[in-house]
Amino acid sequence: MPISTQDIREALKALDSVRYAAGDLHAAITRIVAVTHDLFSVDGAAMMLIDTDLVLRNVASSDDRLADLEDLEVRHGTGPCVTAYQTKELVSSDDLAAERRWDGFPRAAVDRGLGAVLVSPIPYGNDAVGVIAVFSARRHAWTPEGELAVIAFTDLAALLIATTMQSEQRGEVAQQLERALDARTLVEQAKGVLVARDGVSARDAFERIRTEARRSRRKVADVARDVLQEAGARHAAEF
């Protein structure tokens, strides 16, 4: 049956116990994923948050195939979750077998048992910190009501994350996210240096940082810090 507005209301009501909670973020996230899965009556739901290398990682999922989704997007460097995170927009595919976006990702996803996907970014400040994704093993036509539902759930997740990040009692997930946000601040500053110095785009600047991190087997934040230190040294030498 299609999702109705009443279904969405009831699902959100079932999450009243975690709304405004500032306790165990992982437990709240797991609850949101479980209710999302039940609401959509699909094959899986997951929440991903960025790590210190600014890569999306599963923090809770209702199906083991979502680990494949994470692995595939990391391996290909693209996919619906990456796009939703980067563009801060809802991303959907009703039929991955017929999908022409994301290079080799769609075929690999179908081979892993993923047929359709709907992804919404989780806002935090002026940016995104992760996504909520639901998937079907078969073709699936996502309805406007379904899109509204997943946006509502990501907004709730964003509220929980913001509340928890301001709390003194942070769990492991919140601490990991804080480190990721610190890393992103460094990377954004380093990107600005490369854009101004070398005239490259922000995306190309990030790719330079990430490529060097992979080559040297270091964290992207460490590479970004080197860029900033080098820029500071050049500036000091000029004066």
Segments in the chain forming alpha helices (H): 5-13, 25-40, 65-76, 80-87, 105-111, 144-165, 172-198, 202-216, 220-238
Angle, CA 57 vertex, CA 13 and CA 91 arms, to 5°: 65
Q: What per-residue confidence (pLDDT) applies to 19?
A: 64
Alpha carbon 153 to its chain centroid, in Å, reads 14
Q: What is the CA radius of gyration of the chain?
A: 19
pLDDT digits (tens, 9 = 90+) for 94-110: 999 999 999 888 998 89
Q: Where are the domains of the chain?
A: 5-165, 172-238
Over range 188-211, report the average pLDDT. 92
172-238 is a CATH 1.10.10.10 domain: yes
Pair of tokens at residue 7: 């279904």
Per-residue confidence band for 154, with pLDDT thresholds at 50, 70 and 90: very high
Per-residue confidence band for 23, with pLDDT thresholds at 50, 70 and 90: low
Pair of tokens at residue 99: 């999908």
Mean of pLDDT over the chain: 87
**Structural class in CATH, domain 5-165:** alpha beta
Neighbours of 143 (CB within 10 A): 13
Decide if 133 contacts 117 (C-beta within 8 A): yes
* CA dist., res. 119 & res. 131, Å (int): 7
Neighbours of 103 (CB within 10 A): 12
Angle, CA 42 vertex, CA 138 and CA 174 arms, to 5°: 125
Q: What per-residue confidence (pLDDT) applies to 237?
A: 60
